[in-house]
Amino acid sequence: MTSGVCWLWTLVMWVAALRGFARGHATRSAAGWSLFFMTTEALVGAGLVLFRMVADNPSTARAAWMSAHLVNTFLLLAALTWMAFSAWQEAGVRFSRDRRSRWLLGGAAAFVLLVGVSGAVAALGDTLFPAASLTVGLREDFSPTSHLFLRLRLWHPVIAVLGSGYLIWLASVVLRRKPDPPVPKLALTLGVLVLIQIAVGLLNVALLAPVWMQLVHLLIADATWITLVLLALSSPPPISGASLVP
Does residue 126 sit in the same domain as residue 222? Answer: yes
Does residue 62 sit in the same domain as residue 128? Answer: no
pLDDT-derived band at 1 (thresholds 50, 70, 90) equals low
Does residue 104 sit in the same domain as residue 226? Answer: yes
Q: What's this model's pTM, rounded to 2 decimal places?
A: 0.90
Structural domains counted in the chain: 2
pLDDT one-digit tens code per residue, 218-231: 999 999 999 999 99
Structural domain boundaries, residue 166:
95-246
Virtual CA dihedral for 30, 187, 238, 164, nearest 10 degrees?
-90
Does residue 113 sit in the same domain as residue 142? Answer: yes
pLDDT one-digit tens code per residue, 188-222: 999 999 999 999 999 999 999 999 999 999 999 99
Does residue 6 sit in the same domain as residue 99? Answer: no
Does residue 189 sit in the same domain as residue 231? Answer: yes
Does residue 160 sit in the same domain as residue 188? Answer: yes
Per the CB < 8 A criterion, the answer to whether 230 and 82 are in contact is no
pLDDT one-digit tens code per residue, 25-40: 999 999 999 999 999 9
Per the CB < 8 A criterion, the answer to whether 183 and 231 are in contact is yes
Answer whether residue 239 shows pLDDT above 70: no
Does residue 182 sit in the same domain as residue 216? Answer: yes
pLDDT-derived band at 175 (thresholds 50, 70, 90) equals confident
Question: Using N-to-C axis directions, what is the helix angle for 2-20 and 26-50, rounded to 10°?
Answer: 170
